[in-house]
Amino acid sequence: MGLSTEEIMQASLDLVGWEEVPDDSTVYVPGEDVETALVGIDLGSAEIQLARSEGYDLALAHHPAGGSARTAFTGVLDRGIELVTDHGVPKEEAEAALSDLRHRLELGAHSANYRHDPSIAELLDQPYMNVHLAPDEIGRRRFVEVAEGMDADTSVGEFCETLTGEIPELREAETDVELRLGEPGNDLGEVAVYHAAGTNGGASVARTFFENGLDTVLYIHVGPGDASELREEFEGEGKNLVVTGHIASDAIGLNTYIDELESRGLSCATVSGCGIGRD
């Protein structure tokens, strides 16, 4: 007997100790007795058809593809406020830092075709779901573990090397851990890991961290405009922005999640970035 899509979603919550499904994760087409899954970071209509034609019981995506996971996506931004205030930043400053991002994402969600990919899965009667925040939280905790293991006199360059050395997904990726602001010899100082909050915090969140005394911010990706803005403001001031790489970083939590699903009897085939660095 296979798993239901509800049980597959619950497995992600169990891994991080959460009770409620985050707003950015949902089941588009439910399924029962799921024994095989095509798992990828991005699975759209083409991959849904691939899953159907190849006989997979489930198409399991990481990134939100429609439905409530798109229209209600900004609900997970509240997690970002927690990540910022955990480092001593006043709540009102954290909320202000995220206000523009929230507004932009709300506009994007309102204009998106939230029915496109789910409707293809419905037409084909192909079970389809996405699980986003929980695997990202697994990755965030791994980054925090590495950061907390660094010595007080560590440089940010040594931190980047340690991330690559200790995390297989980063080591085996085609992208590198990059220092988008700062010099390798800069002091690492206190590290704020901003991941598992929907998306990166852009220039505004990093700026808020820096202005409140933090030396290093870790994102898994950052836009070129935000990176340029931060360099213009903080270059030469000993501040650091470490960017670990989007797909490699997503794979960290997803690999753990896939291992858990397979331990529960689900056979998983990985595409679209899943499986990087996985034994």
pTM attached to this predicted model: 0.97
| For the chain, counts of helices (H) and of strands (E) | 12, 9
DSSP 73: G
Asked if residue 186 has pLDDT above 80, the reply is yes
Per DSSP, which regions of the chain are E strands? 26-29, 36-40, 58-61, 128-130, 178-181, 191-193, 216-219, 240-243, 267-271
Q: pLDDT tens digits for 201-248?
A: 999 999 999 999 999 999 999 999 999 999 999 999 999 999 999 999
Q: pLDDT tens digits for 129-152?
A: 999 999 999 999 999 999 999 998
